[in-house]
Chains A and B, each alone.
Chain A
């Protein structure tokens, strides 16, 4: 019975209900989108790391896995690695950052291709001329560049020579020497990849390398992948926390406004219920149920909208971010906004529950 009243109340002011639901929903969407972005982007990076096809990675001690760090290793290290038992191929790259989660990779393509069987071109082909540049499909879609198009990076104009399938190595590829020259890192490398005769030897080779190369970070593929956690995306993590805070705040504010107006508007009705013997708890129950229902509706709307943001991201910025739908976060995001909503209803509910019955009844 009480649900009929709750339902009628929500229906009575459709616009207000819709607006509150939407604000709650947008909060849920923002949370889900950010969490989905973290997850999606990390998974994408894991996939790309696997796609490189190396068994062992070597980096300078001051580099981080996700950030690019500086090109601090000497090229001579490649030769040294190749002379080690079980190592079939070793090749280095320079990764030059051009913004958050955007970078240019300089690679020795012939050797690089031996790690994973080579780039799979969707159109065009490998470097021919000096100003040739290769990009992957996501980058091509995001920046709207096709083979033959001009691309300006590092203060120079490049011609897109080939577009390759994403999922291996970098988004933007240039010859190693070119990037070294342009970024004044001649003879230096950011990352060295090594492929073994048999992946089963990975642990043994790493142990052996570590004993000889103390000043370097040496990882297996699995170790590298295990580093792709949300900790590796500190900006996104902070941003997610801020957004959680904001959605609690705005959810609370919206519910406060909606329920406060509702309580004022229904002063008389609340008085009527009390004149019939309704306890403060009964009145509270009505308002809490209304809030609860709005949160649930909001959460559903928010989840729906997170599919929309995923689609938008796929279309607009596939190279920078990939959003996944993270089901585990549905109840979490729902609970977070519900907490906000409940926070917002506290004062209006208290006001309604304690207002004087006679005064309420003479209210028009």
Chain B
């Protein structure tokens, strides 16, 4: 690891095979993210932003290149190792909230703890975050009773409950109106400031990107602007 980066990629490539065609989603990506950073990634549709996230979170392996997460080399990690990575180190927030519809808000958060085999009282840092998220009064509701903004804040709570080193948010405000977007973005920024949560956020919206400390732009599977 160079100068304490929590994420470092070198010459990262990803090629998808689609029938006879090869789709080069990533053509050599080099990024470094410092611990505690709030980074926004922008770029046109199809430029490989989500693909980068999926590799960082172990949802799919890279075709070529190296990824270091928290000092750990991802190459050569088994399926089980990548699952473990998501359980302990990297967590996701998606545009589509992805809450379990049959469970209450509380249980949606609890299931993440259950998967990570965490028991006992909640972490003080998480309780602080829960305060910021402002969903305390909705804990016993099912997701469908919540507004989009509330659902996304539940998804954030679920993503950070186990204290992951890295939070990857793929267009977290993509489905939200301006007011809810501002609210969610504010929460992300506060999490970054108060508990030092490292956050990577994909967005199409320049106003959203402005909430981050740093913005990088991707185009055709490469990072074009740091």
Query: A residues engaging B (CB < 8 A)?
Result: 1-2, 4-5, 8-9, 11-12, 268-269, 272-279, 282, 357-358, 361
- Measured in the bound complex, the distance between the Cα atoms of B101 and A11 in whole Å is 13
10 A-B pairs with least C-beta separation: A277-B87, A8-B102, A277-B86, A1-B114, A272-B98, A278-B115, A276-B112, A358-B59, A276-B115, A1-B110
Assess whether A358 is in contact with B103, with CB atoms less than 8 Å apart: no
Contact of B59 among A1, A9, A273, A357 (CB under 8 A): A357
For the side of the interface on B, what is the size category?
A: 20 to 34
For B38, list chain A residues within 8 Å (CB). none
- Smallest CB-CB separation from B100: which chain A residue? A269
Answer whether residue B111 sits at the interface, using C-beta atoms and an 8 A cutoff: yes
Q: Which residues of A contact B91 (CB under 8 A)?
A: 276
- Tell me which residues across on chain B come within 8 A of A8, comparing CB atoms: 102-103
Whether B114 and A274, one on each chain, are in contact in the complex, defined by CB atoms closer than 8 angstroms, is: no
Knowing that A12-B102, A274-B83, A276-B115 touch, tell me 17 more A-B residue pairs with CB under 8 angstroms.
A1-B110, A4-B107, A5-B100, A268-B98, A273-B111, A273-B115, A276-B91, A276-B111, A276-B158, A277-B85, A277-B115, A278-B87, A278-B115, A279-B83, A282-B115, A358-B60, A361-B94
Query: Shortest Cβ distance from A286 into chain B, in angstroms?
Result: 10
Cβ < 8 Å to A, chain B residues 154-197? 158
30 A-B contact pairs sorted by A residue (CB < 8 Å): A1-B110, A1-B113, A5-B103, A8-B103, A12-B102, A268-B98, A269-B101, A272-B98, A272-B99, A273-B115, A274-B83, A275-B57, A275-B86, A275-B92, A275-B94, A276-B87, A276-B111, A276-B115, A277-B83, A277-B84, A277-B86, A277-B115, A278-B87, A279-B80, A279-B83, A357-B59, A358-B54, A358-B60, A361-B94, A361-B98
Q: Which residues on the A side are within 8 Å of B60 (C-beta)?
A: 358
8 Å CB interface, B44-88 against A: 54, 57, 59-60, 80, 83-88
